[in-house]
Structure 1
Amino acid sequence: MRVGIVILPDQPWAQASRRWRLAEEYGFDHAWTYDHLGWRDLVDGPWFDAVPTLTAAATVTSRIRLGTLVASPNFRHPVHFAREVTALDDLTGGRLTIGIGAGGTGHDDRVLGLPALTKRQRVDRFAEFVTLLDRLLRDGRADFEGDHYRAVDARSHPGCVQQPRCPFLVAANGPRSMRLAAQLGQGWVTIGSPADDLDAWWRSVAALVTHFEELAIAAGRDPADLDRVLSLDAAPVFSLTSVDYFAEATGRAAELGFTDVITHWPRADSWYAGSETTLERVVSELLPTIRNPDGA
């Protein structure tokens, strides 16, 4: 089991750099940041862009994988994003994973003043986004004509450090998006289905795992070859509420076949409010055991 952590881009770099350094020193396998123009009630800031944040994170780390959780078509175009991905993969020395999702409703969906899309239209747009991004990063050149995106002789040379391209971690809960994850992703990340009851949330996660495995097999892929990632904090309980709860949550994820879990750096208040002392205890008491259950 690998363990990752999300560091929200809600601090100036003079403060935030400490968290990114510690994420690596603590032994986390991967560290992520949100890719939004503004997020929920934190929209009034401070809030910083994901790409320069990851660029800065690359300069203060050397081992840990870095990525977006998740980038979306709400305000990104795959032609420009391919250039950013290529640059980030170079700057990280091949440590980049691109988390991508369909994009939901909210500030990002409204701020550019574009027409609102239905859920089906958002998934259609996402399919075009992933297809064009994959083609550009793999082939280095693409023309594309879709309902939502166009590309004319687009380029992405010199390509990614990681070949044939940096890995995609596709966020998906619905059947069409999950099918994309099974077809084009090196991994799948889920938040489960919304639920106020913790056991109901875990049941939804279990059902999604079963469905994803079926879709992977239908796509001609072995589910065991794909990373399956659970965002623990989509549950109605924050994963770093206590050391005991974190141990329970990661154990349940392992039983369901997840290869990775992701938590969030505790904040002083609001979303993911918690104590850094609990994080430190998880790191010292649990993380070595979770990552190497057999003591290897």
Structure 2
Amino acid sequence: MRVGIVILADRRWSESRWRWQRAEEWGFDHAWTYDHLGWRDLVDGPWFDSVPTLTAAAGVTSTIRLGTFVASPNFRHPVSFARQVTALDDISAGRLLLGMGAGGIGYDSAVLGGQTLPPRQRVDRFTEFVDLLDRLLRTDGVTWRGDWFAAVDARNNPGCVQQPRVPFVVAANGPRTMRLAARYGQGWVTTGAGGDDLDSWWRSVAELSARLDRELAAVGREPGTLDRYLSLDAAPVFSLSSVQAFEDAVGRAADLGFTDVVTHWPRESSWYAGDEAVLERVASEVLPALRIADAAGG
């Protein structure tokens, strides 16, 4: 089981730099930040873009994988974003993970003055986004036109450090987006499908994992060829509310076949409110035990 952590870009770099360094020192396998122009009620506070944040994080770390959690076509265009992705992959020496999703409603979909799309159209747009971005990162000189995006002789020199391109971690809960994950993804990430209590949320996660198995079978892909990421803090209980809560969540995710889990750095209040002392205990007690278990094949 690999463990990742989201570090929200809600602090100036002078205040957050040490968190990225500490995440690597503690042995987290990957560290992520949200790719939003603003997020929920935190839109009224400080907020920084994911691309320069990850660029800075790449400069102060050397081994931990870094990623977007998750990028979307709400305000990204595949042509310009492909250049940013290529640069990030180069600067990080091939440590980039590209988390991608269809994009929801809210600030990101409204701030540019455009129309808020219904779910079907958001998935239509996301399908084009993933398809074109895949082409751009693999091929030089792409000309392509769809209903939502276009490219005219778009270049990708020198290409990604990771070949044939950076890994896509596709956020998907519905059948159509799961098919995208099965076709294009090196990873799949889910938040579960809601639920009023913890047990019902875990049941939704199990159902989604089973649905993914069916989508993989439909395209003739073996289940073990796609990494499975679970965003633990979409559950009704914050995963770092206690060490025991985190251990329980990791164990249940492993039982369902997930290869990776993602938690969030505790904040003082509001979303992901918690005690950093719990994070420190998880880092010093739980992560080493997981590494030993992995090394032993258990």
Instruction: Describe the SS at the equivalent of 2:274.
Output: coil
Task: Give the letter aligned to residue 37 of structure 1.
Answer: L
Deviation string 1:202-253 (CA, Å, 9 cap, x unpaired) is: 0000000001011112112111011000000000000000001100000000
Aligned to 1:194: 194
Moved more, 31-40 or 191-200: 191-200
Aligned to 1:157: 157
Task: Give the letter aligned to residue 90 of structure 2.
Answer: D
Distance 1:283 1:3 in 2: 10
Equivalent pair of 1:99/1:169 in contact (CA under 8 Å): yes
Deviation string 1:169-212 (CA, Å, 9 cap, x unpaired) is: 00010110011001000000000012221100000000000010
Aligned to 1:70: 70
Q: How far 1:291 moved relative to its partner?
A: 3.2
Aligned to 2:139: 139
Aligned to 2:52: 52
Aligned to 2:120: 120
Q: How many residues align?
A: 296
Aligned-residue identity in percent: 69
For 1:274-293, list aligned pairs within 5 A: 274-293=274-293
Equivalent pair of 1:135/1:141 in contact (CA under 8 Å): no
Distance 2:67 2:237 in 1: 24
Distance 1:262 1:106 in 2: 23
Instruction: Describe the SS at the equivalent of 1:293.
Output: helix
Q: How far 1:290 moved relative to its partner?
A: 2.1
Aligned to 1:256: 256
Task: Give the letter aligned to residue 212 of structure 1.
Answer: L
Task: Give the letter aligned to residue 247 of structure 2.
Answer: A
Instruction: Please give the TM-score of this superposition, normalised by the length of structure 1.
Output: 0.99
Q: Which runs of 5+ in 1 are unaligned?
A: none
Instruction: Describe the SS at the equivalent of 1:173.
Output: coil
Distance 1:196 1:221 in 2: 34
Distance 1:10 1:160 in 2: 29
Q: How far 1:126 moved relative to its partner?
A: 0.1
Cα root mean square deviation, aligned? 0.8
Task: Give the letter aligned to residue 98 of structure 1.
Answer: L
Q: Which runs of 5+ in 2 are unaligned?
A: none
Quick check: 1:110 aligned with 2:110? yes
Distance 2:195 2:16 in 1: 31
Distance 2:153 2:56 in 1: 31
